Amino acid sequence: MKRIVVLVSGEGSNLQALIDACQQGRINAEITAVFSNKSAAYGLERARLADIAAHALDVKAYEDRAAFDVALADAIDEYQPDLVVLAGYMRILTADFVQRFAGRMINIHPSLLPKYPGLHTHRQAIENQDTEHGTSVHFVTEQLDGGPVILQAKVPVFSDDSEDDLVARVQTQEHNIYPLVVSWFVEGRLSLKSDQALLDNNPLPYQGYAAD
């Protein structure tokens, strides 16, 4: 069975969606460990409740970002993961870390990439009076939120939406598409070659998989 390690920084709702999918057999894999840069992250408690190893690394214990990422990568490697999943992990990764897990690390970002990389995506969508917003699952590369997109989900933006309204609508879609993409990877259907996402050996378009 394939092995997955998940990185979180906060609530961990996408982690919970992945835990549920594994328990229900929708993902034929085991989440072997969850790591966080914040000891109080509720995602760690979600892991413990599911009998998954939960670890927090204190950023202040390391000389710099590079040293922290080396320690984190070494700790992850102890679990020999086939896939590293970022689920609300809020630290920018060093190039060495990304290269170490290249082709087997994915992230979910709350926007329709390449639109709105970085933070406060929902707020930007509302302020710019967008009529649609969404979420993207992508391979992680050295470019922030810039790796090849695998799958996106769109949601409407209504004129009276608050930021919380939009967050909730997007998260509902995240919880649907992230387990699906993880299942594609562990089934051997999804890969990264020459900075191109492939599904069933077919190159995916820039916006990721789109059903006919």
Residues 6+ apart with CB under 8 A from 78: none
Active site residues: 109
How far apart CA 103 and CA 110 sit, in angstroms, is 21
Asked whether the beta carbons of 88 and 106 are under 8 A apart, the reply is no
Q: Which amino acid is at 106?
A: I
- Find, among 177, 181, 9, 163, the residue nearest to 92 by Cα: 9
Pairing of strands 53-56, 29-36: parallel
d(CA 34, CA 4): 9
Q: Which residues lie closer than 8 Å to 63 by C-beta, 6 or more apart?
A: none
